[in-house]
Amino acid sequence: MRTGPVGETIDSHRHRALGTESRVSILGIVRAAEGGVTIAEVGERTGLHPSTARAHLDRLVGAGLLVKARASGGQPGRPAWRYRLAAGNEAPAPAPYRALAAALLDHLSRRTGGDVRAEATRAGQDWGRHLAAATPPGADPLDTLFEVLRGLGFSPRLHHTGDGRTEIHLHTCPFLELVKRNPDAICNLHVGVVRGALEHAGAPPAGAVVEPFGAPDACVVRLAVPEPGPARRRHRPAAAPTPR
């Protein structure tokens, strides 16, 4: 490791990742796309073969410049990867929790032969129920979910869509480094946490989905839970309209 002229440590891994014109160009495309891009979109804009575009994108993920996740919007089947810039200012979860989560991911990967989504969701539901049990009993399901998400460090905010649906935007990801390591597992772990918290609070969990990068600056939790009355919104950040 060497020191650059402004006193910053040179990250040779990242410098090598940007050592080709194609990857520099791809990074610029992702930076300009607020909601991230898919491999197909990169191929269309650069003329690269999809396998070549995938290799470049994954090299940028490995260097910590991009993160990827599957943005399904709750649709069936396995959706395409969506890539976006890796944020640099998230407050990570405490090291022991990150180490525990990493060990869990490795264990699930070995058990399931690589596709860990269903197992991660089930593990997350158990975790979500456990976390929700520590919140005040009898609370509205949305309030319970907010307390769980806030306690984990997700910086949740409530949003309303133009068609009357309820969403929670997660503006930080305390486990972002694990998303880079195993997006399917950690994102579905979060899906399970949401569903487990709702289930503990007496709300139907099946309608809740988490869309990674669903908003320009946040992941989006889409809910099928009605809003409570005004008297029960005291502890929740004010809702903001979501343009559609």
What is the distance between the alpha carbons of residues 135 and 100, in angstroms, rounded to a whole number? 23
Tell me the per-residue pLDDT of 220-233, one tens digit each, with 9 for 90 and over.
Answer: 898 876 555 444 44
The answer on pLDDT for 92 being more than 90 is no
- When mean pLDDT is compared over 23-32, 65-74, 89-98, 108-117, the highest value belongs to 23-32
The answer on pLDDT for 145 being more than 70 is yes
Q: Which of 162, 170, 159, 163 is nearest to 238 (CA)?
A: 159
pLDDT tier at 179 (50, 70, 90 boundaries)? confident
Q: DSSP letter at 107? A: H
- Which amino acid appears at position 79 of this protein? P
What is the distance between the alpha carbons of residues 55 and 83, in angstroms, rounded to a whole number? 12
The pLDDT value given to residue 41: 93
What is the distance between the alpha carbons of residues 154 and 92, in angstroms, rounded to a whole number? 10
H or E element that contains 85:
strand 81-85
Tell me the per-residue pLDDT of 39-88, one tens digit each, with 9 for 90 and over.
Answer: 999 999 999 999 999 999 988 888 888 888 886 555 566 778 889 887 65
Q: State both tokens at 98.
A: 């990150």
Report the percent of the chain where pLDDT is more than 70.
Answer: 72
What is the distance between the alpha carbons of residues 82 and 75, in angstroms, rounded to a whole number? 15
The pLDDT value given to residue 69: 84
Residues 242, 167 contacting (CB under 8 angstroms): yes
